[in-house]
A and B are shown apart, each in its own frame.
Chain A
Amino acid sequence: MGPGAALAAGVTGSLPAQALNGIFAGSIYALFAVGYTLVFGVLDILNLAHSAVFMLGAVFAYGLVVAVGVPFWLAVLLATLACAAIGFGIELVAFRPLRRRGAPPIGALLTSIGLALIFVNLTEVRFGANSQRFPERVALSGALRLGSLVLPDAKVASLVLSLALAAALGYVVRRTRTGRAIRAVAENPKAAQLMGIDVDAVIAWTLVVSSALGAVAGILYGLSQADVNPFMGRDQIELKGLAVIVLGGMGSIPGAVLAGYLLGLAEVAAAVFLGSNISSGVAFAMLFVALVAVPGGLLRGRTARRV
């Protein structure tokens, strides 16, 4: 099992404490998946470099805090901005050239995998393959106490930030002019272009925002799990992110949030009742059943066409 398997599984404590763990894990899944689903909604493309950006966010923040000595919150901001810029780079390198050439959409899957390989490899060379943790003196190392429940600050921050960011994104997409442009491109890029929308710019912004959200998810994960390493986005996070966006209805932001929490809770429930080894399998078995029963996802966005 990858390190991500431990995100919700293998926790100990009373039932309410377990449920809280599920909610904390769910908020990270949700935040990761919101950015993922946004790009899919607009481009009909799975950006498989998203999990590498998730990792880069945590690694950048760690590097800034530990090697440069930047205050934690500033490091979070800078790392997020850096990843936003990388999101723009992903669009320029992996997606735009393919659109220009009218390549089949599955090509974008390959170019984004290529970028993920590059990001992970360069990080491994520069950062080392070992897992690191944010030092204790960093902000958010305390905990809130509610009766017998101990709520680590890092996890509370995950919950609050992921809900706030997802709500902000939902507001932008639903209520603003930019959001209207994004929805127009998602609906029909050609028609949007004819209406005077700069399609390339909208897609670039979508990747920038998505990558920034992915970076925040990575930082929160690295902080609350005390685990920052070049491979932290691979396998479990990537796969669960996919599961979450499908379960939520491809392209649906509220759906991704809801499905993220459901997955977090389902994993904890499986770990409690069936043992921690089996929890990730149970999550996917549930997903399988859910897909067969509700093929369009929980909150149906636009139905997906071919990949």
Chain B
Amino acid sequence: MQFFTQLLTDPLGFYRAHQLLLAQVGINALLTLSMYITLRAGMLTLANVGFMAVGAYTSVLLHLHGHLPLALTVLVGALAAGLLALPIGIPTLRLSGVFLAIATIGFGQVVVAAILNVPITGEGRGLTIPDASSSLLPAYLSLVVVVYVLWRLRRTRLGMAWDAIREDAPAAEAQGIDVARYRLLAFVLGAVLAGYAGALEARINFFIDTSLYSFQRVVGVLVFAVFGGIGRVAGPLVGSATLTALPEIIRFARQYRDTVYGVILIALVIFRPRGLIGGRTGRARPAPPRERAPS
């Protein structure tokens, strides 16, 4: 419980002691939001970690070899991930359910295999970024922007189209919504955000290697999203913050930390099946009778 006492009585000391953890919370929140975007459009895609790797490696390599400023390379990394999402998304997004999930997991594995075989990426040894900065500002600033945009999106044509597709894709199609296009858009936006989070993470950690992009990481991000509840934008935020901080909070459990984490995870899923703050059903409210999207 020392975690909370310190947070309340000595915020500055808490900040110093947990700076890395706070950075990780910010990064994980961005990643979880990238998964939230695709889940929102009714797709379980697990390529996020692959896009993260693309963003991170593109950014770091441009910085190390192209001598571009870090901030610029982070943006380029995010864009590279988004561009790559197009050729990946177009053939795969006609799959659905688990098939889509597995096809996209495959992508992450292929990216890792590619990194391990291209000499410029340092192969298995990873890359060090000597002049990075562990400042939390970029991560949290971007988080605020992303959350605001996603929150505003709910009531727009795009947000409602995603909701309609998630609830019933054939019905949405029948309403004249271009399902394939909106899905691809969600996939690409998710990839951009994941690439961005990956590039930021590289910057904060001073180091990247392929162990950051394992299957466990994808599963972890999915757990963050579902645990918080995907009914609202706040769900992924609460989910990723809680679960990223949880291992630190339950330090007292020592070597049994993962066990305590597992028990808490199971208990919460059983007692809050729609997510920590997905209290309402997590379904869209019945759409008001408005004008329909042009076909």
Contacts and interface: CB of A to CB of B under 8 A. Distances in A.
Interface of A: 1, 40, 46, 48, 93-94, 97-98, 101-104, 106-107, 109-111, 113-118, 120-122, 124-125, 234-235, 238-239, 242-243, 246, 250, 275, 277-278, 280-285, 287-288, 291-292, 295-297, 304-307
Nearest to A234: B216
B84 to A, nearest CB: 14
A283 B99 CA distance: 16
Given A101-B273, A109-B226, A288-B110, A306 B97 contact: yes
Given A1-B116, A235-B214, A278-B113, A114 B226 contact: no
Contacts of A103: 269-270, 273-274
Given A118-B263, A287-B103, A235 B215 contact: yes
A281 B112 contact: yes
A285 B106 contact: yes
Interface stretch (B170-178, B182-190, B250-258): B250-258
Given A110-B265, A121-B257, A291-B103, A97 B270 contact: yes
B93 to A, nearest CB: 10
B95 interface: yes
B110 to A, nearest CB: 5
Tell me the dominant secondary structure on chain A's binding face. helix
Given A107-B273, A118-B263, A242-B102, 12 more contacts: A94-B266, A110-B226, A110-B265, A111-B270, A121-B256, A122-B256, A280-B109, A281-B117, A292-B95, A297-B99, A305-B97, A307-B44
Counting chain B residues whose Cβ lies within 8 A of the other chain, the interface size class is: 35 or more
B214 A243 contact: no
Interface of B: 44, 91-92, 94-99, 101-103, 105-107, 109-110, 112-114, 116-117, 214-216, 219, 222-223, 226-227, 255-259, 261-263, 265-266, 269-270, 273-274, 282
Contacts of A114: 261-263, 265-266, 269
A117 B97 contact: no
A118 B259 contact: yes
Nearest to A295: B95
